[in-house]
Amino acid sequence: MSGLLQPIETAEEFGKAFRVSRETLARLEAYAALLTEWQGRFNLVAPSTLPLLWHRHMADSAQLAAFVPEAARSLVDIGSGAGFPGLVLAILLADRPGFRAHLIEATGKKASFLEAVIAETGAPASVINGRAEAVPAFAADVVTARACAKLPQLLAWARRFAGPQTLGLFPKGRGALDELTVAGQMARLDAHGVPSVTESDAIILIIRSLGAYVRH
């Protein structure tokens, strides 16, 4: 997939854009329905973004799947919120043998929502209700986070879940290059950005060997 996607307004348009199976699309539709239902009680996503759910949240998360290595079997999503991107990736990669996403979320109501979606969809994921800095450290193959923190803080959390070969996948918007410059003052990063397919001024920051970076 290359270039910006046209605005995705429906599940059918999402399915065509990302070429997902009917079964996968049905799971994502169940996810979307639960999000709409729970949004009426809890503030899971910004209300202004709910009409743009399939583009702003589902597609924005789904584009990361192309960068998850074929050999990856574990993913940590820091500050998962309503499950973007970690739960979307778990559903998209559900057919990969042994794959599991660990969704770290500090807010109890959001953690409960994530558990409800996992129960409904059968996604290969588990919820860790806690703050990233307090969760017992363990190494995953991929660490991701979306709209969670600026890069220097995000790296401090992410390295707790990184081994020497762990890949970092971080969607970033305006100011991403400035964040990378600041982070570069505290670490030597093997990092590069690729353009987002959902927003013209956004990138996906890809950091290789996340756990091996050296602090100054």
- Please give the full DSSP string across the chain, using - where no structure is assigned: --SPPPP--SHHHHHHHHT--HHHHHHHHHHHHHHHHHHTTS--S-GGGGGGIIIIIIIHHHGGGGGS-TT--EEEEET-TTTTTHHHHHHHTTTSTT-EEEEEE--HHHHHHHHHHHHHH--SEEEEES-TTTSPP--EEEEEESSS--HHHHHHHHGGGEEEEEEEEEEE-TTHHHHHHHHHTTB--EEEEEE-SS-TT-EEEEEESGGG--B-
pLDDT of residue 214: 44
Asked if the structure places residue 156 within a domain, the reply is yes
pLDDT of residue 216: 37
pLDDT of residue 109: 97
Asked if the structure places residue 201 within a domain, the reply is yes
Asked if the structure places residue 154 within a domain, the reply is yes
Asked if the structure places residue 6 within a domain, the reply is no
The pTM for the full model equals: 0.94
What's the CATH code of the domain at 79?
3.40.50.150
Asked if the structure places residue 2 within a domain, the reply is no
pLDDT averaged per 10 residues, the chain (length 216): 86 97 98 96 93 97 98 98 98 97 97 98 98 96 91 90 94 80 71 91 91 57
Q: Which domain holds residue 16?
A: 11-212
Structural domains counted in the chain: 1
